[in-house]
Amino acid sequence: MDTYLDHNATTPVRPEAADAVARALTQHGNASSVHRFGRLVRHTLDEARESVASLVGASPANIVFTSGGTEANNQALRGFDGPVLVSAVEHDSVLGVRADARIVDVDADGVLSLEHLHEMLARCEEPALVSVMRANNETGVMQPIGDVVRLAHEHGALVHCDAVQAAGKIDVSFAQLGVDMMSLSAHKLGGPQGVGALIVRDGFDPEPLLRGGGQERRRRAGTENVAGIAGFGAAARIAQDNLDLFAGLNGLRDDMETLLRAAIPDIVIHGADGERLPNTSCIGLPGMTAEIQVMQLDLAGVAVSSGSACSSGKVAPSHVLRAMGHDDAAAQSAIRVSLGWSSVAQDVDHFVDAWTAMAQRRSPNVDARRSVA
């Protein structure tokens, strides 16, 4: 285990966030209790809420802490009474919520088709909810959220934005984007797993998913995950202070892509022509399945993935690449390399060496399989 380039699956907890978690774990009150133990815990929650709000340009009252991005996406979509439109490249936790969701196409770069969205909005018989991610988890491709919001609001529709992969990596402003709801996950930006947030604009209340106590202003029941939230807050502060450094990862990423192209000219960098996150590269190697590639890289001590982590045990072709117009073979032969706050040039060097060695063995393998057949 030496080179970890799967930061879009989960990224190491920032030391400052780990400290905040450890500190909060020694506070043993329940934030809803009125005694002093409870009040201390409430103070910890308030601080974290401010930090998370600051990272994404929202106000603390807009933040509803959840158990993660998946829960936030579920809460945003499940209870909505009306048509739900989602882009074809959304995460499973958006695509899987509503069986009745209508799918908006993306182009070959993975960017949502505004014309198609316009057509679909015009066809909606009642106000819709549009859910479009800020940046894609597999390709890093960013969506034109400003245009989506303008179109949607013209049609009286609401907009939810899954910003799980974008927040803490690029500047994301809830207020500037003008969306009605936004989802965040702590463990994608250097906080702990098991905590996230749904950000909800003033004057709008999505149906609660979990019912019970009156926590989170009655928008999400359950004793707050105080340590997790404290870690989320600390990670948000550090991420906000380091957005410039994160933006600089595109240098490493672009150099890496140049080296890979030079070694094997027929590779495909998916979404390279679109606007992408600085840390993500989705690399197609014709003739070798992603599964085999990831396995070989794992043997070489390099961790990457063949798509999103939740489905990475499955062998189905990427729905993201299929939506971008690729056939099953192409959609099954791409790996995701994602850099993070702890990545250094040596990580990329190690990957490039291991990948190149693997890719150069590709043709004989393909031939061997043919001759057996």
The residues that are catalytic are: 310
6 lies in the binding site for other proteins (CB under 8 A): yes
Q: How far is the CB of 215 from other proteins (least distance, A)?
A: 7
How near is the Cβ of 370 to other proteins at its closest, in Å?
26
Binding mask 284-313 for other proteins (x = CB under 8 A): -------x--xx-xx--xxxxxx-xxxxxx
Nearer to other proteins, 121 or 238 (CB): 238
Which token pair is 234?
Answer: 């600390």
Nearer to other proteins, 268 or 310 (CB): 310
User: Residue 281: helix, strand or coil by DSSP?
Assistant: strand
The answer to whether the beta carbons of residues 52 and 63 sit under 8 Å apart is yes
Could you give the CA distance from residue 307 to residue 334 in angstroms, rounded to a whole number?
A: 8
Kindly tell me which residue out of 51, 70, 318, 333 binds other proteins, with binding defined by CB under 8 A: 70
- Is residue 25 within the footprint of other proteins (CB under 8 A)? yes
**110, 168, 228, 274: which one contacts other proteins (CB under 8 A)?**
228
Which position among 12, 60, 178, 287 is part of the footprint of other proteins (CB under 8 A)?
A: 12
Which tokens hold the place of 66?
Answer: 């959840």
Q: Which position among 48, 52, 89, 94 is part of the footprint of other proteins (CB under 8 A)? A: 94
Q: Which residues pair with 334 in a beta bridge?
A: 284
Quick one: 26 or 371, whose CB is closer to other proteins? Answer: 26
Q: Tell the smallest beta-carbon distance from residue 312 to other proteins (Å).
A: 6
Residue 62 vs 185, nearer CB to other proteins = 185
Task: Specify the residue, 71 or 347, whose C-beta has the smaller distance to other proteins.
Answer: 71
Q: How many residues bind other proteins (CB under 8 A)?
A: 82
Per CB under 8 A, 353 contacts other proteins:
no
For residues 136-175, which are near other proteins according to CB under 8 A? none
Angle 364-370-373 from CA coordinates, rounded to 5°: 145
User: Residue 92 or residue 275: which is nearer to other proteins going by CB?
Assistant: 92
CA-to-CA distance for 178 and 200, rounded, in angstroms?
Answer: 11
Rounded CA gap, 362 and 192, in Å?
Answer: 38
Q: How is residue 327 written in tokens? A: 């056939």
Local structure of residue 12 (DSSP, 8 states):
P
Helix (H, G, I), strand (E, B) or coil at 161: strand
**100 lies in the site for other proteins, by CB under 8 A:** no
- Phi, psi (rounded to 5 degrees) for 87: -75, 155
Among 32, 173, 360, 365, binds other proteins (CB under 8 A): 32
Among residues 92, 105, 171, 254, the one that binds other proteins under rule CB under 8 A: 92
Q: How far is the CB of 334 from other proteins (least distance, A)?
A: 14
Distances (CA, A) of 309 to 7, 98, 235: 10, 21, 21
Q: Which stretch binds other proteins (CB under 8 A): 38-46, 50-58, 245-253, 316-324?
A: 38-46
Which of 131, 115, 113 has its CA nearest to residue 123? 115
What single-letter amino acid sits at 247? A
Q: Which of 313, 312, 305 is nearest to 339 (CA)?
A: 305
* Site track 185-224 with other proteins (rule: CB under 8 A), x = hit: x-x----xxxx-------------xxxxxxx-----xxxx
Cβ of residue 108: shortest distance to other proteins, in angstroms? 26
Whether residue 351 contacts residue 256, with contact meaning beta carbons closer than 8 Å, is answered with yes
Closest CB to other proteins among residues 298, 328: 298
CB of 217 to other proteins, least distance (A): 12
H or E element at residue 336: strand 334-338
> What is the Rg, in whole angstroms, of the alpha carbon atoms belonging to the chain?
21
**Does residue number 27 form part of the binding site for other proteins (CB under 8 A)?**
yes
> Which span sits near other proteins by CB under 8 A: 1-9, 145-153, 247-255, 318-326?
1-9
Per-position b or e across 89-110, b if 16+ CB within 10 A of its CB: bbbebbbebbeebeebbbbebb
Angle between helices 226-241 and 36-55 (to 10 degrees): 30
